[in-house]
Amino acid sequence: MRSFVIICGMSYHVCPRDCYDSCGMILQNGRLVGDSNHPFTSGFTCGKAALSLRQVSDPERITKALVRTKKGFEKISIDKAISIAAEKLSSNKVYRIDYSGHMGLLSRFFHQRLLRRLGAPELVWDICSTAGDVALMDGIGSIWGCDIDAIKDSDLVIIWGANVAYSSIHAYTWAKQAGEVFVIDPVKTPTAESFFHVPVNPGGDVALSLQILRELDAMGYEVPFCVDDFGNLEHISGVSSETAHLLASKLANSSRPFVFIGYGFQRQWNGAMAVRLVASILSVIDQPDRFYFDRPYHGIDVDYIRLKGQEPSKETLSWTLLSKQLKGLTDATFLVLNANPVNTLPGRRQLVETFQNSRNTVIVHDMFMTESAQVADVVLPAKHYLEFEDLVASYGHRFLAFNEKGLEPPPDAMSNMELARELARQLKLQQSELYETDREVINGALRNLDIDYEFMKEHKIYRLPDPAKPGPVNWPEIAQIRRSLYKPVEGSYMLLTPVGRLRIHSQYANVLQEVPLLEINPKDAQKLSISDKEHVNIKNNRGSLDVVCKVTDKVPPGVVRLEHGFWTDAEKPNVNDLVEPTLQEYGGGSQIMWTFVNVEKGE
């Protein structure tokens, strides 16, 4: 195992994974522990922090640049690799393929300056919270009500469509100390098991919201349309009118309610409308800001980091639709960083084919041989987040934090910012914005606040100003709500594809090497003559996958569940082969969390 070199006795870090909590951490004597003085995360982290330290010294880590030859990958010098990459970037049409592997502000945005100069289209990150963000802006004029730690002073908590035991360990811990907690979820997740579980049909959240509004209307609250017009909602939501009444009366009688609106359920065909109605319930009971969904990087000049004087390209691509949009493309160079699209994108098989076209070039910057790196032409070693400075702003709380350099990286490894500067140098580009130092970029990003690089380096944490609170409700049209009520019917079983406990999409899957099981209800297993731990095949018209099943009543009949993100060979099927790259009609967000499949006994 490669050992790592600690460069000073103690260093400050912030976990930059795509996670609500953005934990403050201290690296001391080779141990990464939670910062007990962090005002939000107060000294504890989830198990992914320990996994991230294991990544640093993992024997599989890429420490040398690789180039594809007829005999497979061969190690080459970093200078030679950069020169090959630059030549390909200058001779072909360039595409930027990046997302959220490292949520540091510089790691995520600075390289976009170079890619735009090279003519790359903008990439719209519409796969995660777009549907909810659009819906909340339409409905109440703000995506932010309060931060997640509002749970602490709430007398009623509703966790709607989120498994926070996996995705926000702090929310889960505070909820355990809160008064009454309800969890609305189709699946009996570990979060649902810990509290009062309200099982809802997948996609039944619009109907359940209307049921609650109907109950509130009956209690004398002002609901500006007749909810009775929607007919029998119970059979759509799967939630009885007694339970809807219970939820409505709890909300009506609470002085400090809090609703955690999750991301999972808004990545379905009607997710945007569901989020809009859930938030509107709080306005009806005159508690419009008592929810969490998202927090903008308020006060930080993100455009400075990504644009600095440049105009955005008029050509745009959608991250959700990327596999489809790039299909058949030739004479292109794809720069893939901060992402593993060959694992995580819906319809990812099409992307493999595009990448493998001999007239295209794929350059991947990563720490490991991800599925995307496996099909690359040039692989460049990346630094771990413990090995360079960055700023991390949370989307779950208000604390901006400074990540120090605590470990010496492998000599050829680069941060995303260093890679962008090296490529610009090799390409002999003259524009000064391409060569700004990290310190200059941080100062530019913080120029609207009363802080700078020196402040952050010294104090590590800064409390950002709060965004604007929600305004009055703008109710959707009845016809629009009606269109969101019913689910499309196609195939036998609805497959839900959430993330696992110790993975963040495909991150950490290689360290864990766990293969998830397909969860199926005992009634369905009996109908299909399937036993626990038996091989089954799931398929639809987009693909087919062999998996081992787990018979459990945690999933309802008619639903199967398989966590996404586990690693496999790029050539082998993956659950995202079964998911259609498509956007929601309202909100424009992805529908990545679900699809329909047939389930058969395996060979």
Contact positions vs ligand SF4 (CB under 6 A)? 15, 17, 19, 21-23, 45-46, 48-49, 169
Q: How far is the CB of 365 from ligand SF4 (least distance, A)?
A: 21
Residues forming a β-bridge with 337: 98, 365
Which lies closer to ligand SF4 via its Cβ, residue 189 or residue 287?
189
- Per the CB < 8 A criterion, the answer to whether 165 and 190 are in contact is yes
Helix-helix angle 478-485:205-218, to 10 degrees: 130
- Phi (first) and psi of residue 237, to 5 degrees: -80, -30
Give me the long-range contacts of 3-10 (CB less than 8 A, separation at least 24): 3/57, 4/30, 4/56, 4/57, 4/407, 4/408, 5/407, 5/408, 6/30, 6/406, 6/407, 6/408, 7/405, 7/406, 7/407, 7/408, 8/406
Residues forming a β-bridge with 292: 260
Helix-helix angle 478-485:271-284, to 10 degrees: 120
Q: How far is the CB of 229 from ligand SF4 (least distance, A)?
A: 43
Q: How far is the CB of 176 from ligand SF4 (least distance, A)?
A: 15
Exposed, middle or buried by CB within 10 Å (0-12, 13-18, 19+), for 274? buried
Which lies closer to ligand SF4 via its Cβ, residue 21 or residue 185?
21
Which lies closer to ligand SF4 via its Cβ, residue 46 or residue 207?
46
Q: How far is the CB of 62 from ligand SF4 (least distance, A)?
A: 22
d(CA 141, CA 561): 34
Specify the pairing of strand 291-292 against strand 93-98.
unpaired
Which lies closer to ligand SF4 via its Cβ, residue 159 or residue 578?
159
Cα separations in angstroms, 174 against 9, 42, 81, 149 = 33, 12, 48, 8
How many Cβ atoms are within 10 Å of 468's Cβ, its own excluded?
A: 11
Q: How far is the CB of 169 from ligand SF4 (least distance, A)?
A: 5
Residues forming a β-bridge with 564: 499
Alpha-carbon Rg for the chain in angstroms: 24
Q: How far is the CB of 49 from ligand SF4 (least distance, A)?
A: 4
How many Cβ atoms are within 10 Å of 39's Cβ, its own excluded?
A: 13
Which lies closer to ligand SF4 via its Cβ, residue 45 or residue 415?
45
Map residue 461 onto helix, strand or coil: strand
Q: How far is the CB of 353 from ligand SF4 (least distance, A)?
A: 33
Q: How far is the CB of 257 from ligand SF4 (least distance, A)?
A: 25
Q: How far is the CB of 50 from ligand SF4 (least distance, A)?
A: 9
- Per the CB < 8 A criterion, the answer to whether 578 and 513 are in contact is no
Which lies closer to ligand SF4 via its Cβ, residue 113 or residue 564?
564
Map residue 442 onto helix, strand or coil: helix
Q: How far is the CB of 16 from ligand SF4 (least distance, A)?
A: 8
Q: How far is the CB of 27 from ligand SF4 (least distance, A)?
A: 13
Q: In the numeric block, which tokens belong to residue 498?
A: 């959430």
Which lies closer to ligand SF4 via its Cβ, residue 21 or residue 215?
21
Q: How far is the CB of 56 from ligand SF4 (least distance, A)?
A: 15
Rounded to 5°, the CA angle 144-146-149 comes to 135
Which lies closer to ligand SF4 via its Cβ, residue 17 or residue 308?
17
Which lies closer to ligand SF4 via its Cβ, residue 43 or residue 141?
43
Which lies closer to ligand SF4 via its Cβ, residue 41 or residue 142?
41
d(CA 19, CA 500): 13
Which lies closer to ligand SF4 via its Cβ, residue 173 or residue 357?
173
Where do the DSSP E strands lie in 225-295?
A: 257-261, 291-292
Which lies closer to ligand SF4 via its Cβ, residue 35 or residue 377?
35
Quick one: which of 565, 102, 22, 575 has its CA closest to 365?
102
Which lies closer to ligand SF4 via its Cβ, residue 339 or residue 401?
401
Quick one: which of 309, 288, 270, 303 has its CA closest to 476?
270
d(CA 60, CA 281): 50
d(CA 276, CA 350): 33
d(CA 287, CA 250): 13
Q: How far is the CB of 502 from ligand SF4 (least distance, A)?
A: 9
Q: How far is the CB of 33 from ligand SF4 (least distance, A)?
A: 11
Which lies closer to ligand SF4 via its Cβ, residue 202 or residue 264?
264
